[in-house]
Amino acid sequence: MGRRMLKKYDGKKQGWLRQGKELAVFIILMFVVFRFIIGVSLVNGSSMNPSLKNGDVVVYTRIVPNYESGDIVCIRMPSGEYYIKRVIGLAGDTVEIRDGSVYVNSTVREENYAQGRTETQGDSIKYPYEVKADRVFVLGDNREESMDSRTFGAVAKSQIRGKVLFSFSLPGHK
């Protein structure tokens, strides 16, 4: 009778150990995935309206060999804040803003996602603006409400945390 109870106890112990190991592997795997492959961020503000709304959750990939014009990216600013913006100009491109439109390499961009007129912001950025190596020029889709490369210039690729894969709204959030 004592051996049977001992075996039963050992079986439960083995079950708990196996579950503990599986949980540890899962936690380590999730850490690796969210540290090196996938990131999650909240949209804060209206600068990406109508594409992304305040409070939307964005999921982005950290593994991007090259960014393309039109990509939506998550940027970590020197202040530590995270911005979600759209890539407009790449290294070597010349960006110009005039007559409410954006020109890249002297060609007007078709931007059916943009909201509001695109105007320059302040005098710190001179146009035409040449995007330097390892940098990208970014704008928010809500041009009248966005602080972006028109204010702080092109951002270093090293500041980009990743390219947005998809977004969703939390239940009950407008």
Q: Has 85 been annotated as catalytic?
A: yes
Active site residue: 12, 46, 79, 85, which one? 85
CA distance 118 to 99: 8
Q: Has 51 been annotated as catalytic?
A: no
- Classified as helix, coil or strand, 165 is strand
Active site residue: 47, 51, 146, 167, which one? 47
Strand order in the sheet with 155-156: 38-42, 57-61, 160-168, 72-76, 82-89, 135-139, 155-156
> Which amino acid makes up residue 47?
S
Please list the active-site residues: 47, 85
